[in-house]
Structure 1
């Protein structure tokens, strides 16, 4: 709630001298009937009217406060307006093949990537960000949006079990994942368009080669940052057996040459992430990108909200009049 005429609230300062005047007046009030001693009335029962003695004064104060609030014009608002914010368009292309379950990063490659990417998304509130996931096939999990709450919910829900359950073909289709992300950015008007491609394997699926997809990205002015996730040598991988989960050491095979070529073709960079901290380096590089202005249309609406205050003031004045002319009526 806001006040259109907030300066009227200074009238409330008038209550201070009024309260002081009331207290001083009560002290100087002379009794209507004087007696030599009041000792005989000490044990007399107190009337309920005694407790209402100051009620008119309190009602008058409440009424005055309510009238001042009405004059200040309280309003409820829906703040919508036309603004411009700085941002870039970013598509995250994340590998969700079953090899992303390897636990050389903690708790595993996919969860580590999700945690670091979530921090990155939270740190870029003005950017349009979308999400593509791929294994042997690729599809858009979330189109470009500034509603990062929805994006994060969809991002946190992705798991490698979609390939395990056969919902999509397992494998690593780098070209398909990159091409899908490019299709979401090709019509963008932003000066800076970025794809962050994260994978842990070698391209072995898909109808589009990674370098062809990189050339398409270059034609649309899209910069691609590639990340190879995985330690050097071998990595522990959980295998489900009849005896429960057993860990086996699997070789880490990342096509660093192809990832480097993709990044080089699009004027991006290639990063090798052997730990969670290495994953953050790519986001630090993206922060250096030139930002472009995005128009956000908002609408402003205000409604007067004085009715309750006016009603309370009216009831207080009415109740004071009734009390002064009934149970608290003074007889000279």
Structure 2
């Protein structure tokens, strides 16, 4: 048995890619995309015609709508390959606008429905700002399920649970990156691996809190730098993994039995206190967490940059 097969015994494996041709070999349940992954995909020869065809068909529409149609086109292709759900992201430039996020999410869902896709097979990805979480609360009440991304802190996770969002994507690798950079020459890779990895610890804390208090929101670890981080979170509800790391897991045979590092029973036995956030306390808690504040802002900026690059490619295709 290889490590990927072993992991699938305890955790739902999700592919983190816009390259739907890669999906079949790993047989993931779900798939996630983001602006950076879609940008990467449309620059490949096999996907460029898909973008050009979509732009040509809707060139009289505004850029935002054409963008959403490209995202949904990729999402539909992915859904033809997997049995589960696809996550499609709202424009990151709307991360601080609740109403605009809701409007954009509803359009994405309408486009999926027009393509014959049931709402339950789509998760709308939204940055876990206060405004994004409020948008997700409203969308969930309307039957549109959400995936809150760029999640780096416990307060973000708690607020998402309060909003009853479907799923959260706490990032592992970017947390790890921040702490490693802060430590500089003092960083001890061996000592900070596995369960001691700061990104792994963050997801474990959130998982235990959710399971302890029977919060229904699914926890999907994301943004991995190595397979050690992935295996250290075996037992998490879901893990979304880039194709390169899926390939490493599938090529590594394991003789030792993989045991789940996380389980709901252990979470129930922990002595935890319930926490509640309103907007002021959420903003203060996030502000107190320098890592989460920096990585959230950085992530939104990076997705916005790649969205603009995708718009340039769309405009070139329309010319």
TM-score when normalising by structure 1: 0.27
Structure of greater Rg: 1
TM-score when normalising by structure 2: 0.28
